[in-house]
Amino acid sequence: MGCEKNQPKEQSYTSWSSYLGGPDRNHYSTLSQITKENVTQLKLAWSYKAPDYGQMQMNPIVVDSILYGVTAALRVVALNAATGREIWRFGDSLKVWHSTSRGVSFWKKENDKRILFTRGSDLYALDALTGRPIESFGQQGKIDLRSGLPESAKDKFVISNTPGTIYKDLIVMPLRLSEDVGAPPGDIMAFHVITGELEWVFHTIPEVGETGYETWEANPRRNPLVGAANNWAGMAVDEAAEILYVPTGSAAPDFYGGVRKGSNLYSNCLLALDANTGKRLWHFQFTHHDIWDRDPPAPPNLITVKRNGKNIPAVAQVTKQGYVYVFNRTTGEPLFDVKEVPVPESILNGEEAWKTQPFPVAPKPFARQSTEMTDNDISPYAENKEELRALFKKADKRIYAPPSINPVFLFPGYDGAAEWGGTAADPDDGIIYVNSNEMAWIMQMEENDPNKVEMPLGESIYGNYCVVCHKEDRTGIEASGYPSLVNIKASKTKEEVALQITEGKGMMLGFPQISGDEKDALLSFLFDENDKLEVGSESKSYPLPYKHKGYNKFLDSNGNPGISPPWGTMHAIDLNTGKYIWSIPFGETPSLLEKGISGTGSENYGGPVVTENGLLFIGATKDGYFRVFDKHTGRKLWEYKLPAAAFATPAMYEVDGKQYIAIACGGEKLGTEKGNEIIAFSLE
């Protein structure tokens, strides 16, 4: 195994041929045609309407004047980057896939140019000029990502939402896995770009004899209830140093860790791996024994910071908790002190919460923390303040309060402060730009009764897999993005629902383990048909003593956050000093803006792009605007109402001497209108 040792190329900041702008994931450009003085003259240069509608999280890439992106139904499109004209499209014209994709990867050697992307569990290699599968890659142009995992993963839910990281002739793949019992291990896998063969594997859940094995209860890779610890958010690579930086997610099951006692290396870590072999060089664990789903939400940033007059190559990782951790890129030494602080113990039977968690001394968190909140932080615009205040008082607001049968005030919430859109950075100046959500959620567990009898099979399957998001009465949690399933037969066919059960859709994970009679029974239950009584199979009962009660936002009666604004923020943080340069509310709430109330901020998903000459471009907000800010001050310079909200990170590029910035506008998330456009702006 191995790959050809080509010499790494200098990082270019004038192109956008890699996810988030480059292998350092800095969302950064030195293109300078658009300036503070002329940014108000930006006009719509072109618009491409995709053949399908819905959320597009993808960050386009641009190579040789061709823009590559992925539509809501996972169709890959190649567009003329100057006009938006479609050059080719890959994907079934009839079958609609319901997952989300954050884009594609590009690789080339001489005249061999390839686009690599995933659909379901398959990784495809396409000819970049024609869109046709490259037959010599794997089996007729694709490989199954599960082929590099243990045999037990063969029938499990395994996809990838985020583009793989290209290094020489390798592509290292992020994985999205189940977050409940039965997930496969989230191994980091490198495949050969030309052949599709597996080149190396790093076990994030260690085998017997591997370093880190002692941090788990006996033999976690053989425990059918335990899995994940996967990288889903993407990774960065220092091509010159030949080091891959991989943030890993939480171990499964998410909220009850009694079946995986220990600190659980290498979950919730930043891993520094030898990019050629996958060998671990160093690691840092952000959350020990995670029972809050606190996985790092975005790739790290590779930057340079100054200390005592010296330049230090650094790697910075933002987190859902609102912390920024900064390390020496080579040694893993924290560049700001990190303290292990005692945190609350669990009261759930069998659970052993870790006794301490690591807190960086600086920078301060870029989102408010639950322990800071008081009654005065209930939203002044809520019409049901007393109801909110009562729940707020009842909930446990301690930081790292463990899951409980009593409500826990989780803030920052499940989705985090930082998000998958990623963080922009001035790579040589050591400054990062991060947008943040300020949304509280109520976390709560309930005791599981494994002895329920006389329950129809479909209802039992629904209770095991679906009730946590769609509620017992099937009414869903619309404000949190989980739709009602009541009268689903009025809008969907059984075939469509069966496909979504297996393959997932958007936030919903797929459940390929539900098959045969169980799936038929679940469909009968959902479509209000005859649901036969379960005959009492032990395998159908949920195997943990506690269940998560669902993803419930802390909202007022109008669907706005129940805490005081701002509900979305943007920050510029100097990582040379740990000091904030500026912080502003980000986004507006239209219903309040109509009443003259501005500056509330809004939920936001998608990252910024920054330029050397002082601009910050970002969509991301629920209110559906594209905005440009002065990166030095946070002052808004320009905004444009998009055809649909853009929950995606834009891409900046140049064609024939003209600078463009493109963004995907798919809407749908957060209850916004669906869209289907990729649009680009330029100066006239």
Query: What domains appear along the chain, each with residue ranges and CATH number?
Result: 36-94+605-684 (no CATH), 103-296 (2.40.128.630), 449-541 (1.10.760.10)
Buried residues in 325-359 as b, exposed as e (16+ CB within 10 A) = bbbbbbeeeebeebeeeebeebebeebbbbeebbb
pLDDT at 10: 45
pLDDT at 672: 96
- The closest of 340, 327, 225 to 287, measured between CA atoms, is 340
Per the DSSP assignment, residues forming a β-bridge with 142 are 124, 139
Please give the helix or strand (H or E) that residue 521 lies within, else none: helix 517-526
**Dmax of the chain from CA atoms?**
74
pLDDT at 428: 95
Asked whether 393 and 406 are in contact (CB, 8 A), the reply is: no
pLDDT at 537: 44
Q: Which stretches in the chain have pLDDT values below 50?
A: 1-10, 535-539
Please give the helix or strand (H or E) that residue 470 lies within, else none: helix 467-470
